[in-house]
Amino acid sequence: MGPGPINADPRVLRAMSAQLLGQYDPAMTAYMTETMGLYREVFRTANEQTLLIDGTSRAGIEAALVSMIEPGDRVLVPVFGRFGHLLREIAERSGAEVHVREAEWGTVFTPEQIEQAVIETEPKILAVVHGDTSTTMAQPLDELGAICREHGVIFYTDVTASLAGNTFETDAWGLDAVTAGLQKCLAGPSGSAPATFSPRAVELINARKSIEAGIRSDGDEVRATPIRSNYFDLAMIFDYWGSKRLNHHTEATSMLYGSRECARLLVDEGIDNAVERHRMHGGAMLEGLRGLGLEIFGDVSHKMNNVTAVYIPDAVSGDAVRGELLDDFGIEIGTSFGPLHGKVWRIGTMGYNARKDTVLTTLAAFEQVLRRAGASVTAGGGVGAAYDFYADEAAGANAGEAAGADVREAELADLERAGL
Ligand SMILES: *Cc1c(COP(=O)(O)O)cnc(C)c1O
């Protein structure tokens, strides 16, 4: 129950145990094409270039940034947590002139603040994290696409922590490049980075295409300053996933099976339903922690559904409590980084672990461990508050259904009156 990685869905683990295939086996190329289609639904995009980067989430970040940044390009990075610092670091290593704006941990930026920074720095690329697990905050992105279009800026985001657990729209929000990972709300293991690129981003990347020696054909362009990474050269990776099937790396077959299954399960559930599931169980965890008498960190109105940070009570050692939860109950919760280190625990309700039983069991165990450690917690307050939250949700859903039934009855009565 930490901020990721989490338990994988057993169906994903099963898919990963299938036999390997050669990368030009028609079954394999069909899986690749099918996986592109499934991730278009997960990312909510029509982008042709929707594919997997082999490696953990930061492989996706690195592929996107190193392929789009030419040395000397200006990149704006609004930082509101640890992973904003990572974007800055990767952009700098890619040779960019990076401009940073910082928000206090536990808060996010307003669109006006970001537009102001865009005007001041005139970047080629705006690179911003969507949900940052280090602070639990989700930066609102829905108004930033229009700002980027107006100022001719390429808009990139890292949705590793947020995708499938929080509303996210690649096309409707005007994103040009988006990268993710499996080990958070996608219920898979780390090791594959789903990503999508708009036609604008693809044009920019393909303008830098320089096919490597050994697989080059006559007429292929060779550039003096190719993309700085071969492994993460998206221009070549697009040709590998596209109809050319130009050879690049050996696809990580088992990870492809796992990634495909993560997306298949989400599409089967419905992306909106998956987000709703995270909202419900994350809400129950939040109310349960409050019910224990604990204080929540950060601006809760901008908190991601799938992770909650809670202050460590003065009386207890954060690491000792985490150790006991793990040893005695087999439950892992997260520590924290940077300015929050030693101050908060981070508790996830994501992917396969966004369930009622995991929420209630964690709250019950947490109460006992906290009390033994010397914290004053409300007896039964955690599980009780979570139960109340679930009951309110169910009553709300029933009221909604009842209201829906009234509408349907009224419609039927109208039809009857009209003689239909
Ligand atoms: C968890 C997380 C990552 C993880 O990156 P890995 O390379 O998979 O370790 C990246 N970005 C964000 C925003 C995250 O929350």
Local confidence pLDDT in tens for the 420 residues of the chain = 999 999 999 999 999 999 999 988 999 999 999 999 999 999 999 999 999 999 999 999 999 999 999 999 999 999 999 999 999 999 999 999 999 999 999 999 999 999 999 999 999 999 999 999 999 999 999 999 999 999 999 999 999 999 999 999 999 999 999 999 999 999 999 999 999 999 999 999 999 998 888 888 888 888 878 999 999 999 999 999 999 998 899 999 999 999 999 999 999 999 999 999 999 999 999 999 999 999 999 999 999 999 999 999 998 999 999 999 999 999 999 999 899 999 999 999 999 999 999 999 999 999 999 999 999 999 999 999 999 999 999 998 877 666 656 656 666 666 666 655
- Sheet arrangement for strand 74-79: 49-54, 192-197, 177-179, 154-158, 125-129, 74-79, 97-102
- Smallest CA separation from ligand 1 atom 15, residue: 161
Place of tokens 């592109």: 36
CA of 90 to the centre of ligand 1 (A): 13
Q: Which fold has domain 271-402?
A: Aspartate Aminotransferase, domain 1 (3.90.1150)
Q: What is d(CA 411, CA 227) in angstroms, rounded to the nearest whole number?
A: 61
The CATH number fitting domain 10-268, selected from 3.30.43.10, 3.40.640.10, 3.40.190.10, 3.40.50.300: 3.40.640.10
Q: Output the residue whose Cα is nearest ligand 1's atom 8.
A: 57
Residue nearest to atom 1 of ligand 1 (CA): 161
Under DSSP, is residue 197 helix (H, G, I), strand (E, B) or coil?
Answer: strand
Q: Is residue 132 within a helix (H) or strand (E), and if so which, with residue range?
A: strand 131-132
Residue located nearest, by CA, to atom 6 of ligand 1: 57
Return left, alpha or beta for 20; rule: phi > 0 is left, psi -120 to 50 is alpha, else beta: beta
Determine the distance separating the centroid of ligand 1 and the alpha carbon of 253, expressed in angstroms.
22
Please state, rounded to an integer, the average pLDDT across all residues of the chain.
Answer: 95
Question: Token match 């998956």: residue?
Answer: 274
Report how far residue 354's alpha carbon sits from residue 345's, in angstroms, rounded to the nearest whole number: 18
Specify the pTM: 0.94
Q: Tell me how crowded residue 55 is: count the other CB atoms within 10 A of its CB.
A: 21
**Distance (Å) from CA 416 to ligand 1 centroid:** 57
Distance 313 CA to ligand 1 centre (A): 28
Bridge partners (DSSP) listed for residue 138: 131
Q: Where in the chain is the domain with CATH 3.90.1150.10?
A: 271-402
Using DSSP's 3-state secondary structure scheme, residue 318 falls into: helix
Handedness of CA 120, 124, 130, 136 (dihedral sign): negative
Which residue intervals of the chain bear CATH 3.40.640.10?
A: 10-268
- pLDDT tens sequence across 29-61: 999 999 999 999 999 999 999 999 999 999 999
Backbone angles phi, psi at 331, to 5 degrees: -115, 125
pLDDT tens-place string over residues 312-353: 999 899 999 999 999 999 999 999 989 999 999 999 999 999
321/311 Cα distance (integer angstroms): 13
Identify whether the C-beta of residue 383 lies closer than 8 Å to the C-beta of residue 364: yes
Q: What 3 state SS string does 20-39 have?
A: CCCCCCHHHHHHHHHHHHHH
Give the residues surrounding ligand 1 with Cβ less than 6 Å away: 4, 56-58, 83, 129, 132-133, 158, 160-161, 181, 190
Cα torsion 272, 274, 279, 284: sign: positive
Out of 57, 139, 232, give the residue to mutate to test ligand 1, the one with the largest number of ligand atoms within 8 Å of its CB.
Answer: 57
Residue 345 DSSP code: E
